[in-house]
Each structure stands twice: as C-alpha cells, then as structure tokens.
Amino acid sequence: MTKSSAHAIAGHNAAPDLRSWLQRLSTTDRLAVARGGVSLIDELAAISKRLELDRAVLFPSPGQHSIPVVANIFADRSWVADSLGVSTDQLLPRFQEAVRNPLPWIEVKDAVVQEVIHREVDLLKQLPIPKHNEHDSGPYITAALLIARNPETGAQNVSIHRCQVSGPDRIGVLLLPRHTHHYFRMAEQAGQALEIALVIGVHPACILASQAIAAIDEDEMEIAGALLGHPIEMVKCKTNQVRVPAHAEIVIEGRILPKVREPEGPFGEFPQYYGPRADREVIQVDAITHRKNPIFHTIVGGGMEHLVLGEIPREATLLEHLQRSFGCIRDVRLTRGGTCRYHLVVKIDKTNNGEPKNIIMCAFGGHYDVKQVVIVDMDVDIDDPNEVEWAIATRFQADRDLVVVSGAQGSKLDPSSDQGISAKMGINATKPVEAETMVFKRIHVAGEEAVDLSRVLQEDPKSAFARILTG
Ligand code: MN
C-alpha cells in the first residue's frame, strides 16, 4: 500500500467502509500483502485461492496497474460475525433483526466515491479487473453491487451479478430471475434501458445485505443501514438517477440495453462448475467514478469468499421465512457440500409429527435455489455433516419420510437441472414425538466430560507398559 492511501485510511474514521474492515483485518493479522506486479490474469486469483481459508490478501499494483486489488475479505462465518460486531451464535439473529427493521438511507451531495470522474471509459485501462478461473472467458467484475431502480416506483434493488468485460465500455451480465431481472423486463417492455450502477469496494455489511432474500422493492441498502446501526450515506450518480453508497471505492455508471443480447461466459461459479456461454444482457457504461486512491475488491468465483458471502444472508432470511410460519424452528444451515445454496438443514424443537413435511414445503418456496431440505431434532449438531448423516441413517425411512417434488424452479447454475427446472427433495430425519424415551436415546458414557486426563493417565506410558508385560 502506498503512503498516501495508508494515510487516507488512518485519517478516515467516519463511515464504516471497505477500508475500516481491511484495517480491522490488518490489526488482527488476517491481511496479507502480496509483492507488486502480480499478474491480473490467473496469478492474482491463484494466490487468493491458496490463502482463502486463512487470510485476506491485498495486491499493490497488480499487472502494473496503479489501483490495488483485495480478495478474501471473508474466510468463514466467524469473520462475518466480526465484521458486524457480534459473536458467531448471534450472527443469524442480528441479521434477522436488520431484515425486520430496515433503516432508510440518507442522500448526501458530495462523496469521496466521486472524487475522480471518467466520462471517457476504458474499463481494462482504468480498473484492475482480474481473470479468475481457468476457463473464464476473460476478466470479470465479480464483487460489484448492481444497484437498479424500479422504472415505475424508483425503489432501488441491490444484487451481485457476474460482469464480463466485453469491450472498453461494454459489460455482459448474467441476470438470474429475481428483482433486477424483473426491473429490466419492465424497462425493456417499455422500450427503455434500465439505469444501473456497479458499486465496488464497500463495507461487508453492504455486501451481506445485498444477498438477503428480501421482497421486491425492499431496498437492501436499508438492511445494510440496520446492520451498521446508522443510515448509509448515498449519492446520486453523475449520469443517471441511481443512488450509490458515498463511501464506496469505485462506481461504474451505465444502462442495461433493451433488445440487446451478446455472448457472456463461461465463468466459474459457486456450484464449482462453469456457467456456460450464452447470449445475455449487456451494460453500456457511461462513466466511472472513484476515490483518489481507490481499492478494487474482487471475489474468486466459487471460492470460499463467494460461498460464505451468500451463505449467511440466505440462512438468516430463510430462518426468518420459516419462523414466520412455524414456532418450532431453532436454526438453519446451508451446507458447504451443498455449495452454501442448494442443501438446507433445519433444526426444530418438534411438537407435531406433521410439522417436518410442512417445513420442507415452506423451505422449497423460500428460495428457488433450495433443492434439498433435511429436518433434524434439537440434539443434532447442524455444523457437523456427520451428525446430520447420522440423523438420516437412524431416524429416516425413505418410504415414509421422503418428500419429492418434480418439475419445480431450481438453479440454472446446477448442471443436473434441465435449464433451471429441477426436482426438490425433503428428508424428515426427526424422531416421532411419541417415541419411547429409550428407543431414540443417544448413548452416552456417564462422566465422560468430567474426566481429567492429566490426573488419570501415567506420565510415562512406555515404561508403565513394559512393567505390566514383565509382571
Ligand atoms: Mn431485492
């Protein structure tokens, strides 16, 4: 990091932003800094992958570019909890509270993110955009919040999309069938472009909030404000009506063009496969604004940061969704093996033998990505895949406890689906409410937890063993 940007971080203590989180990572020995000159093509992503379970990594002047790049800003759920200032077990409740009580943002006139304005745009010259997985079609912007406005109501939506650099001022974008896609269809049917902004380099709370499964026209930046405990400051873009976080590092302003589709992909995605090349929507870029010394955030597609970022907000919103209808829901996990999107485990305090199947059906409706739901009892540790499998092995009978739905909406990125048409499977791995206590009583050795090994074991086992053999 240069002296001037270090000074900017030290002198900056107002709004929580990307820098305040990187500062926190640095002071807690979780931020590595690479040598200069790492290539933006493959090498930056390769180094990030090697460090992904361990440390964030900052690349000064990657590919001789003057703007540094940061990756791996989350390694696991404890980092996410830390970024929100709560303990790991308070993470989902804290997020739920923010979803329930969003905090409207406030508009400001001046913003650091507009200190430098480029109206002549050349994406690869002006920004250090990496290529990540081996067969990606080229450089991708992967960690940008896409902010769009409902063309009729002006309500803003925030989401993350993979953004392929298709030309100096052109971006190919994948819009999955949620809110941004809906706004775009409204604009396109009226023959208009959809004004958008791509926001790069924000506080983790903003990125997490963007992944909440909120209702359409619920502005995710209000959830971010609630997570941070004070309203996000937003500023109007220079070339359109979209409002963007004033403390972001970089903003790309543009429009998704009506009736235009161009090839996008392949791109390495969270299911650990490449999303295929196809004709997709196109963003025409109108301007780039940024801080004087901006930092560019990138996420390696399918890497741990990608999985964790989607996992926590989805868990919290699925928990909220299920708890609205069922009093017995205690916790949920989107498992690592299920790519933190497809497989949901639900822990319940069961009171009725019919509950699990209702919960399974409700979870299928919570998000189209959810493909498998396993319901377990209170005595199962849902952070341990072996415990969940044990519950299935000993409490589940396929002819009685299995729910299968065919031909439902699923994930287009699941290669086993038929263009996103997918089957759903629910597994009730709970014991019957009326089960006799001893039938489902987990075995346990009395006194195991209280054993003090230093008191009961001999210090020199080799000689003790030799003495026993010789009598
Ligand atoms: Mn939304």
Residues 294-353 have pLDDT tens digits of 999 999 999 999 999 999 999 999 999 999 999 999 999 999 999 999 999 999 999 999
- From residue 142, alpha-carbon distances to 92, 174, 208 in Å are 25, 11, 14
Confidence of residue 94 (pLDDT cuts 50, 70, 90): very high
Q: How far is the CA of 216 from the centre of ligand 1 (A)?
A: 5
Q: 157-161, 231-235, 433-437 — which is least confidently predicted?
A: 433-437
The token duo for 9 is 């971080």
Residue 319 belongs to some domain of the structure: no
Measured in Å, residue 344 CA sits from the centre of ligand 1 at 21
**Is 460 part of a structural domain of the chain?**
no
- C-alpha of residue 220 to centroid of ligand 1, in Å: 6
Residue 458 lies in a domain: no
Residues 185 and 279 in one domain: yes
Measured in Å, residue 464 CA sits from the centre of ligand 1 at 67
How many A from CA of 210 to the centre of ligand 1? Answer: 7
Q: What separation in Å is there between the alpha carbon of 225 and the centre of ligand 1? A: 15
Q: What is the pLDDT of residues 208-225, one digit of tens each?
A: 999 998 999 999 999 999
Q: Please give the radius of gyration of the chain, using alpha carbons only, rounded to the nearest integer.
A: 25
Q: Does 90 have pLDDT greater than 70?
A: yes
Band of residue 382 on the pLDDT scale cut at 50, 70, 90: very high
Do 274 and 331 share a structural domain? no
Q: Which residues span the domain enclosing 115?
A: 3-299
| Ligand 1 mean position, distance from CA 157 (Å) | 5
Q: 129: left (phi > 0), else alpha (psi -120 to 50), else beta?
A: beta
243 Cα to the center of ligand 1, angstroms: 15
Give residue 211 CA to ligand 1 midpoint distance, Å: 8
Asked if 309 contacts 170 with a C-beta cutoff of 8 angstroms, the reply is: no
pLDDT tens for 256-275 read 999 999 999 999 999 999 99
Q: With respect to residue 312, please indicate whether it lies within any of the assigned structural domains.
A: no
Cα(24) to ligand 1 centroid in Å equals 29
Task: Judge whether 279 lies within some domain.
Answer: yes
pLDDT of residue 401: 98
Q: Is residue 179 part of a domain?
A: yes
Provide mean pLDDT across the span 151-165.
97
Q: Same domain for 238 and 375?
A: no
Q: Which of 250, 282, 299 is the last residue of a domain?
A: 299
Please confirm whether the linkage preceding 104 is cis (ω < 30° from 0). no
The Å distance, Cα 226 to ligand 1 centre, comes to 16
Residue 362 has, within 13 A of its CA and on its CB side, a CA count of 19
Same domain, 31 and 82: yes
Ligand 1 centroid, distance to 182 Cα (angstroms)? 10
**439 assigned to some structural domain:** no
Do residues 209 and 174 share a domain? yes
What pLDDT, on the 0 to 100 scale, is given for residue 14? 58
pTM of the model: 0.92
Ligand 1 centroid from CA 379, angstroms: 35
CA–CA gap between residue 344 and residue 91 (Å, rounded): 17
For residue 181, report the distance from its CA to the centre of ligand 1, in Å.
10
pLDDT band of residue 436 (cuts 50, 70, 90) is confident
Does 205 lie in the same domain as 63? yes
Task: Please state the domain count of the chain.
Answer: 2
The answer to whether residue 419 scores a pLDDT higher than 80 is: yes
Residue 6 has pLDDT above 50, yes or no: no
Ligand 1 mean position, distance from CA 219 (Å): 6
With H, G, I as helix, E, B as strand and everything else as coil, classify residue 144.
coil
Give me the CATH number covering residue 342.
3.40.1670.10
Tell me, yes or no, whether 305 lies in a domain: no
